[in-house]
C-alpha cells in the first residue's frame, strides 16, 4: 500500500547552534531570546539528534528546511556540519538548508559545509561601508563591511549556493536606499525591512521616515509589477506569499506555521514554537529533541490554538495577515501592524494589476516564468 500524501509541503525549523556572536550589532535583539540555563553551544550529538527527531516527528511534511540561526551559526561549525552530514543520510530531498549569517566566518571548512548542504544563504549587509559599519561592528569595534563583501564574492565563486542580501532599515537609512544598494551586489534576491525596536528608541524610524518607508513599499510593488510584466522573477520576494495566496483564493489561517510547521531549537535541544519568541512573549518549551516527537508536536498544536487578539478579529486584513507575528508585535506593537497592513495593501495592488488579463504572470513570484 502506498503511503498517504504528506499533509504539508514544507516545514521550516530555526536552529541556533550557538547563542554566541562575534559581532556586537547595536540593534540586535536575539540575545534577549536566550533561555535561562540553556547551553550556549550545541553539541554534535544534539545536532545529529535534531535531524533524526525532525525526520521522525514531521512525518506529515514532505520537505524540512533546517534554517541555522543564532548567534552566528558558523561560530559552532562542528554542530552545523553534523546536521548537514546527518541530513544527507536521509531520503534524498527530505532536508534542505538555509542560514542567516553575518558573513565574517570565512574558512575552507565553512565553504565546504555550505556547498555540501546547498545552502540558501541570508547574508546580513546593511548598505555601503559607511552605513553598514556604523552598526555592524566586531566586538573590538572594528568594521566588517569588507569581510562581508569578501564572503559574498568567495561564496559566489566557490559554491553553488543561492544568496539573499538582507538589510536592516533604520533612522537615517531608508528602504529605497537599502534596496537600491542591494541591487548592485552579485546576489540572487534581496530582503530589506525596518529595524525591530520599540517606537521612540534609538534607530527607530521617525514619523516622517515611516511615511517614506510606506511610500517605498509602494515603489517596490511597482518594481515587482514591472519585473512580472517583462517575465522576470522579482528580486524582492516580500509580497510573494500573499500574492500567491490571493491567486489560490485561500485565507491565511495564521501568520506563520509556528508550533505546527515552524519550530525553533535552542543550542541545548529545547524545542520552541519559534526561536524568535523571547521570555516576555511567553516563550514556552514544547519539549526536547530527545523526547518522543509526539510530545512537542502536540504541545505545539496546543500553543497554536490560543485565541487571536481582539483587534485582529475585526481587522479587514486578517485573511491576508493571519493575526500578526507574536515575536514582533510584542516589540513593535502598533508599528508592526501598520507595516503588515501596508504589505497586504501592496500585495493586493500587485494581484489586482494582473488578475483579470494576465494572472499567469503572477507565477513569476513562485519562480515560474
Q: Which domains does the chain have, with CATH numbers?
A: 8-366 (3.20.20.70)
CA neighbours closer than 13 Å in the CB half-sphere of residue 243:
28
Spell out the residues 6+ positions from residue 141 whose beta carbon is closer than 8 angstroms to its own: none
pLDDT confidence bin for 197, thresholds 50/70/90: confident
pLDDT confidence bin for 59, thresholds 50/70/90: very high
- pLDDT, average across residues 15-28: 92
Quick count: other Cβ atoms within 10 Å of Cβ 337?
A: 19
Summarised one tens digit per residue, pLDDT across range 207-224 is: 999 999 999 999 999 999
Q: Check: CB of residue 63 under 8 Å from CB of residue 10.
A: yes
CA neighbours closer than 13 Å in the CB half-sphere of residue 342:
19
Predicted pLDDT at 4: 47
Predicted pLDDT at 330: 58
pLDDT confidence bin for 322, thresholds 50/70/90: confident
Summarised one tens digit per residue, pLDDT across range 139-159 is: 999 999 999 999 999 999 999
Amino acid at each position: 500500500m502506498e503511503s498517504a500524501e504528506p499533509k504539508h509541503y514544507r516545514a521550516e525549523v530555526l536552529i541556533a547552534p550557538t547563542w554566541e556572536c562575534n559581532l556586537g550589532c547595536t540593534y540586535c535583539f536575539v540575545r534577549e531570546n536566550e533561555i535561562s540555563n540553556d547551553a550556549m553551544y550545541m553539541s554534535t550529538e544534539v545536532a545529529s539528534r535534531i535531524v533524526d527527531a525532525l525526520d521522525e516527528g514531521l512525518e506529515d511534511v514532505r520537505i524540512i528546511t533546517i534554517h541555522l540561526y543564532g548567534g552566528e551559526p558558523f561560530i559552532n561549525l562542528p554542530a552545523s556540519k553534523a546536521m548537514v552530514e546527518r541530513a544527507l543520510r536521509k531520503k534524498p530531498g527530505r532536508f534542505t538548508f538555509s542560514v542567516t549569517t553575518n558573513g565574517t566566518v570565512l574558512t575552507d571548512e565553512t565553504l565546504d559545509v555550505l556547498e555540501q548542504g546547498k545552502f540558501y544563504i541570508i547574508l546580513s549587509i546593511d548598505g555601503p561601508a559607511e552605513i553598514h559599519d556604523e552598526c555592524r561592528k566586531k566586538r573590538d569595534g572594528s568594521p566588517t563591511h569588507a569581510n562581508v563583501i569578501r564572503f559574498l564574492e568567495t561564496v559566489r565563486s566557490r559554491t553553488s549556493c543561492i544568496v539573499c542580501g538582507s538589510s536592516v532599515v533604520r533612522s537615517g537609512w531608508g528602504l529605497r536606499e537599502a534596496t537600491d544598494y542591494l541591487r548592485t551586489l552579485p546576489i540572487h534576491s534581496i530582503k530589506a525591512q525596518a529595524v525591530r525596536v520599540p517606537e521612540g528608541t534609538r534607530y527607530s524610524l521617525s514619523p516622517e521616515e515611516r511615511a517614506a518607508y510606506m511610500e517605498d513599499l509602494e515603489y517596490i510593488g511597482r518594481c515587482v509589477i514591472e519585473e512580472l510584466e517583462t517575465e522576470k522573477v522579482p528580486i524582492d520576494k516580500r509580497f510573494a506569499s500573499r500574492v500567491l495566496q490571493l491567486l489560490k483564493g485561500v485565507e491565511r489561517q495564521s501568520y506563520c506555521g509556528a508550533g505546527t510547521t515552524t519550530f525553533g531549537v535552542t543550542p541545548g535541544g529545547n524545542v520552541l514554537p519559534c526561536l524568535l519568541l523571547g521570555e516576555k512573549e511567553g516563550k514556552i518549551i514544547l519539549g526536547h529533541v530527545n523526547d518522543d516527537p509526539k510530545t512537542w508536536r502536540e504541545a505545539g498544536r496546543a500553543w497554536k490554538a490560543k485565541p487571536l487578539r481582539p483587534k485582529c478579529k475585526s481587522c479587514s486584513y486578517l485573511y491576508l495577515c493571519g493575526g500578526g507575528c507574536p515575536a514582533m508585535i510584542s516589540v513593535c506593537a502598533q508599528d508592526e501592524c501598520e507595516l503588515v497592513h501596508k504589505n497586504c495593501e501592496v500585495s493586493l495592488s500587485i494581484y489586482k494589476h494582473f488578475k483579470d488579463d494576465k494572472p499567469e504572470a503572477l507565477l513569476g513570484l513562485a519562480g515560474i516564468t
